[in-house]
Chain A
Amino acid sequence: MKIRAIRHVRGFDVARPISIGVMLGIMLPLVLLPLLSIFVYGTKKGLGTFWSALVAPEAIFALKLSMVTSFWATVFNVIFGLFAAYVLSRYDFWGRNAVIVTISLPTAIPTAVAGFALLLLWGPNALLGRLLNTQGVQLMFTPYAIILANIFVTFPLAFGVIKPVLDTMSRSMEEASATIGATRWQTFWHVTLPSLRGAIVGGALLTFARAVGEFGSTILVSGNLAERTQTAPLYIFAKFNEGQIEAANAIAIVLALLSFVIFSVLFFARDWLEFDSQDA
């Protein structure tokens, strides 16, 4: 680093402002301006309109439903992701690679297909749906369907963050722990888990952020009922279709800010967490 810096002291490094400028120039129409237009249109009719759009009962409900369903999908996927990552990185077995590929599949499947697949499985005339129906239970078009859809589409995220860390983790600490007589569970709880906390927090935030924004599968499985099964992205879509651009953008701003906070935490906290874990 230092050597390279010295090389440029003699003259002005033109590549620096140009490359930064080009990067920002590319980002401007693709990412920055679209984000900006959400803020501009959300507040165009004044902050009063923005605020009343925000505190409308339907909007509050939609935001809360999104938070709660994403929360439970995150809890499930982090626990399962951790478990699966542990199993797949510690044990070798026939079909192991097939399982790894299968876990990653939901990344590439269109979310609408995910929603449709859930409908086909849990629908009133479908395999599992018919079974539940006889018990008088219906999953689809309830908030539980939204959680199921969120679990499906964010399935690989936490796993994908945790597994590489587990793979590259030095085994010496675990082995040391075992030699001084710790049980497997003690080793996992006191040695393995603390080293993974950066990955766990990172995976959880990523999963949560992705689940909060989920649209394609939710619109199919939720029924899109205001104050029942309408999540924040569905609310935005409904308001946009009704031509209520301000109401749509007010909630879009909340979601944009939420992702901003999540990814800031991810960015600033992860290094620190992972640094901590080195000497744990």
Chain B
Amino acid sequence: MLGDHMWLTKNRTLILTLTVFSLLVGNACLPKPASQKGGGVTITVYGFSIMKESLEQAIYPAFAAKVKREHGFDVRFTSSFAGSETVTNQILQGVKAQVAILSIERDAQRLKDGGFVTSDWHQLPQKGIVNKTPFVILVRKGNPKGIHDLADLAKPGVKLIHPDPVSSGGAQWSILAIYGSELVKSEKQSGEPDRARALQLLQAVWHNVISTPGSGREARTQFESGYGDALITYELDALLMKQSNARADAEIIIPEATIFSEHPAVVVDRNVSAADKPVVDAFMQFLWSEDAQRAFVRFHFRSSISDALTQENKELATIKYPFTVDYFHGWDKAYPEVIEGVFRDQVQKGK
């Protein structure tokens, strides 16, 4: 038999490995975020993908500074960003989001139906809509495929990147933009919206889709890394992309008729304690303050409270025939009739 002493010597490698391993892991305790040190209130925000820059770089710091100045305590934010439908599903599964900023009102409604939102966001300023932006087309530099409007995306040989309507709110806006633009234009021409023509266009455009990423931002990243000839996206994301990467191989095309997406912010009441409620409510009100709206405009959103503010950003395009989800009589009708009735049943299944 070997004595314990020899056993130990024989196991120097094991001991060494374990030591390295333990050092690697440090104290093997779950790490504390830097933001949690010290007192104050932390607000948890879940947002759809393109909200990230404006919130993290402008809105959060501005609100934290305001609270510190006026009330003397610290407010911190922690957030996660993904496709609007993904964010909504996460909250329905139980993530502790206190505020959700979503791409489509339908998702706010789903949170309400799930019992997570009990307050009525229509009571908030602008019926809960924090900001808006039109849907535009990104093409390659020099526009080699000759795309000048949404209808041109149906040309044979155009490779289109389009986010997945299952997970992305932007994708649903984009579908409404394609379908609606044809309705609006046919209505201008003949006085009657031509549903058959709009369906035909949507089918032809969808035929050219080569990839369906999970969110608007993911779609942009794919386009940015060189895939596809065109991408339909939020105007602000197109501008942010050009701003962050001056050499980006992309040009923005403004459609003649396009939709303005309107983004609701809601309080997820179930996850807000009575102690946190005043701060969360103050944050919600702050979103519609002139300061916050101006910050959104700086990040290429359009203000939901004032067109004068929007005009401070000279890069924002003028749309000839703009429309909103109201053209389809709101999301209550647009989702079942267009996303499900037209897109899912006639475009996807009919393909």
Mark A residues whose CB is within 8 Å of B: 57, 61, 64-65, 67-69, 71-72, 119, 123-124, 138, 140-141, 143, 177, 180, 190, 194, 197, 200-201, 204-205, 208, 223-228, 230, 238, 240-243, 245, 265, 269, 272-273, 276, 280
Residue B159, interface by CB 8 Å = no
A225 touching B13 by the CB < 8 A rule?
no
Contacts of A140 on B, CB cut-off 8 Å?
A: 93-94
Q: Mark B206-225, 1 if CB is under 8 A from A, else 0.
A: 00000000110110110011
Contacts of B35 on A, CB cut-off 8 Å?
A: 227
A67 touching B26 by the CB < 8 A rule?
yes
* Min CB gap A251→B, angstroms: 15
Residue B90, interface by CB 8 Å = yes
| With A67-B24, A194-B11, A276-B10 as contacts: A242 and B52 at CB distance below 8 Å | yes
Residue B244, interface by CB 8 Å = yes
Mark B residues whose CB is within 8 Å of A: 1-2, 7, 10-11, 13-14, 17, 21, 24-26, 28-31, 33-36, 44, 49, 52, 78-82, 90, 93-96, 214-215, 217-218, 220-221, 224-225, 241, 244-245
Contacts of A200 on B, CB cut-off 8 Å?
A: 14
B217 touching A242 by the CB < 8 A rule?
yes
Contact of A201 among B17, B25, B49, B221 (CB under 8 A): B17
B13 touching A194 by the CB < 8 A rule?
no
A68 touching B94 by the CB < 8 A rule?
no
A190 touching B2 by the CB < 8 A rule?
yes
A68 touching B80 by the CB < 8 A rule?
no
Contacts of A201 on B, CB cut-off 8 Å?
A: 13-14, 17
Contact of B13 among A64, A68, A177, A269 (CB under 8 A): A269
Q: How far is the CA of A82 from the CA of B82 in the complex (A)?
A: 40
Contacts of B217 on A, CB cut-off 8 Å?
A: 241-243
B218 touching A224 by the CB < 8 A rule?
no
Q: List 7 A-B contacts (CB under 8 A).
A: A57-B34, A67-B25, A123-B93, A141-B95, A190-B2, A265-B17, A269-B17
Contact of A61 among B25, B31, B90, B93 (CB under 8 A): B31
Contact of B94 among A69, A123, A230 (CB under 8 A): A123
| With A61-B31, A65-B31, A225-B44 as contacts: A280 and B221 at CB distance below 8 Å | no
B94 touching A138 by the CB < 8 A rule?
yes
Contact of A124 among B2, B24, B94 (CB under 8 A): B94
* Min CB gap B334→A, angstroms: 27
Contacts of A204 on B, CB cut-off 8 Å?
A: 21
* Min CB gap B124→A, angstroms: 24
Q: How far is the CA of A165 from the CA of B107 in the complex (A)?
A: 54
Q: How far is the CA of A124 from the CA of B80 in the complex (A)?
A: 20
A223 touching B90 by the CB < 8 A rule?
yes
* Min CB gap A236→B, angstroms: 13
* Min CB gap B242→A, angstroms: 12
Q: How far is the CA of A67 from the CA of B24 in the complex (A)?
A: 8
* Other 15 A-B pairs with CB < 8 A, given A67-B25, A68-B29: A57-B33, A61-B33, A67-B24, A68-B26, A68-B31, A71-B21, A141-B95, A141-B96, A225-B80, A227-B35, A230-B80, A241-B215, A243-B224, A276-B10, A280-B7
Contacts of A230 on B, CB cut-off 8 Å?
A: 80
A65 touching B30 by the CB < 8 A rule?
yes
A190 touching B7 by the CB < 8 A rule?
yes
Contacts of A228 on B, CB cut-off 8 Å?
A: 33, 78
| With A64-B31, A201-B17, A269-B17 as contacts: A71 and B95 at CB distance below 8 Å | no
Closest 9 CB pairs of A and B: A227-B33, A223-B95, A64-B31, A71-B25, A141-B95, A243-B221, A124-B94, A241-B218, A57-B34
Q: How far is the CA of A265 from the CA of B13 in the complex (A)?
A: 10
Contacts of A190 on B, CB cut-off 8 Å?
A: 1-2, 7
| With A223-B90, A242-B221 as contacts: A273 and B80 at CB distance below 8 Å | no
* Min CB gap B117→A, angstroms: 15
Q: How far is the CA of A241 from the CA of B237 in the complex (A)?
A: 13
Q: How far is the CA of A69 from the CA of B220 in the complex (A)?
A: 32
* Min CB gap B279→A, angstroms: 18
Q: How far is the CA of A61 from the CA of B52 in the complex (A)?
A: 19
Chain A residue nearest to B44 (CB atoms) is: A225
Chain B residue nearest to A140 (CB atoms) is: B94
* Min CB gap A46→B, angstroms: 16
Contact of B80 among A123, A197, A223, A269 (CB under 8 A): A223
Contacts of B93 on A, CB cut-off 8 Å?
A: 119, 123-124, 140-141
Contacts of B244 on A, CB cut-off 8 Å?
A: 243
Q: How far is the CA of A143 from the CA of B25 in the complex (A)?
A: 15
| With A223-B80, A226-B79, A272-B13 as contacts: A68 and B25 at CB distance below 8 Å | yes
Contacts of A124 on B, CB cut-off 8 Å?
A: 93-94
Chain B residue nearest to A57 (CB atoms) is: B34
Contact of B78 among A71, A72, A225 (CB under 8 A): A225
Q: How far is the CA of A101 from the CA of B7 in the complex (A)?
A: 35
* Min CB gap A168→B, angstroms: 20
Q: How far is the CA of A138 from the CA of B94 in the complex (A)?
A: 9
B221 touching A241 by the CB < 8 A rule?
yes
Contacts of B241 on A, CB cut-off 8 Å?
A: 243
| With A64-B26, A276-B10 as contacts: A226 and B215 at CB distance below 8 Å | no
Q: How far is the CA of A68 from the CA of B22 in the complex (A)?
A: 10
